[in-house]
């Protein structure tokens, strides 16, 4: 956890397929059918607590993008790294964003 600030991430732009392949992003949005995407203005990487159906887990957020569909409806998606390994995508509303790791950043709080 001492080096969480060094986690590769996307800043100031939307992710591409190359970013995902290079480990800097978790997803890239298909912008066909009138969809638009823009980066969400937030300092990354960021520690967060994911509130999921099967519990909560500490994560490192590496990407946040606003997606706007052809009906002008928007959703904010976040890409994250699980501390135990792996990636995930969720809505920003499912995350509790933190300034730094807290007591929940331990093995006891990892999702199984």
Kindly report the pTM of this predicted structure: 0.89
Count of the separate structural domains present in the chain: 1
Q: How confident is the model at residue 107 (pLDDT cuts 50, 70, 90)?
A: low
Which has the closest alpha carbon to 89: 58, 54, 55, 50?
50
Domain that holds residue 55: 4-109
Contact 29, 35 (CB under 8 A): yes
Please give the C-alpha separations between residue 41 and each of 34, 66, 95, in angstroms, as whole numbers.
22, 10, 16
Compute the average pLDDT of residues 85-90. 93
């Amino acid at each position: 956890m001492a080096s969480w600030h060094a986690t590769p991430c996307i800043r100031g732009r939307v992710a591409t397929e190359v970013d995902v392949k290079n480990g800097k992003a978790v997803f890239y949005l298909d912008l066909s059918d009138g969809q638009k995407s823009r980066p969400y203005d937030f300092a990354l990487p960021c520690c967060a607590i994911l509130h999921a159906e099967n519990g909560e887990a500490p994560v490192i957020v590496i990407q946040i993008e606003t997606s706007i569909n052809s009906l002008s409806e928007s959703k904010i998606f976040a890409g994250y790294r699980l501390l135990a390994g792996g990636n995930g995508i969720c809505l920003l509303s499912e995350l509790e964003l933190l300034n730094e790791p807290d007591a929940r950043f331990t093995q006891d709080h990892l999702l199984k």
